[in-house]
Amino acid sequence: MIIAGNWKMYRGPDVHALAGLDAIVCPPYTRLRECVEAGLTTYAQNVHWEPEGAFTGEISAPMLLELGVAGSLVGHSERRQYFGETDLAVARRGAAALAAGLGVIACVGETAEQRESGATEAVLEIQVEAIAERCGAADGLVLAYEPVWAIGTGLTATPEIAQDAHAFIKSRLDVPVLYGGSVKPDNAAELLAQPDVDGALVGGASLDVESFKSICLTAARIRS
């Protein structure tokens, strides 16, 4: 069971309060070093597909490795929505990170309109296929099913919706799949209990030490 906390563009919690926690943290770039030095398993929130070059504002896999970072998110819906990340760019980022020896959490998920129009599986298929084509079922690759309508909205997918989507994703690419979208201490247990839910990617609730710890404890209880 993998629990990862995405701090987005927030400062995030005191790293010392998270010491010893069996979880991944995804802080903003400015706090990567601090998290690594505190002994936390630390992922960046994005990574470029080239090892170096004229790509202002980007950061590469070798740069992350130099800091002691263990992996990176790619394809978060906020990157896709606000920064024009295409399926190809997401797949290239993921493949470069894996080839460099980083872990990768690659995010996929449908919008509310896509779900309402019955296009969920078609959208997931395209997103997952792009990742599968470039990355395969690589060691170190994890997918995160994050329905866009559930991120930061307080609207969580029902356990049945999550389970169906995860089973579909795994039928296309057999790697662990995390659920993300308004995971909180009070809904974590029923989501994490689903057979194809292998963990959670937590945004808002990871900014609060007690909420994040509570979700990690729930995951540990379910795994044991």
Within positions 178 to 197, which residues make up the interface with ligand PEP, using CB under 6 A?
180-183
Bridge partners (DSSP) of residue 177 are 143
* C-beta of 68 vs 112, nearer to ligand PEP: 112
* C-beta of 50 vs 208, nearer to ligand PEP: 208
Diameter over CA atoms, the chain:
48
Range in contact with ligand PEP (rule: CB under 6 A) among 37-45, 62-70, 95-103, 175-183:
175-183
* C-beta of 107 vs 128, nearer to ligand PEP: 107
As measured in angstroms, the least distance from the Cβ of 194 to ligand PEP is 16
Question: What stretch of H or E contains 158?
Answer: none
Bridge partners (DSSP) of residue 26 are 6
Task: State in Å, rounded, how far the first CA of the chain is from the last one.
Answer: 10
In which residue are the tokens 């599968």 written?
132
Range in contact with ligand PEP (rule: CB under 6 A) among 87-95, 165-173, 185-193, 199-207:
199-207
* C-beta of 139 vs 161, nearer to ligand PEP: 161
Q: Which of 48, 110, 146, 166 is catalytic?
A: 146
Under the binding rule (CB under 6 A), the answer on residue 94 touching ligand PEP is no
User: x/- contact string, 134-173, with ligand PEP (CB under 6 A)?
Assistant: ------------x----xx---------------------
| 97 contact partners, CB below 8 Å, separation of at least 6 | 47, 61, 64, 71, 72, 74, 103, 104
Under the binding rule (CB under 6 A), the answer on residue 83 touching ligand PEP is no
Range in contact with ligand PEP (rule: CB under 6 A) among 60-68, 88-96, 110-118, 176-184:
176-184
Under the binding rule (CB under 6 A), the answer on residue 26 touching ligand PEP is no
**Helix, strand, or coil here: 2?**
strand
**Helix, strand, or coil here: 185?**
coil
Which tokens is 20 given? Answer: 């010893």
Tell me which of 44, 95, 104, 202 binds ligand PEP, using CB under 6 A. Answer: 202
Alpha-carbon distance of 193 to 185, in angstroms, equals 13
Within positions 204 to 223, which residues make up the interface with ligand PEP, using CB under 6 A?
204-205
- Quick check: 215 and 15 in contact, CB under 8 A? no
Which tokens is 139 given? Answer: 């060691």
Tell me whether residue 76 is one of the annotated catalytic residues.
yes
Amino acid at the residue 61: A
Show which residues are catalytic: 76, 146
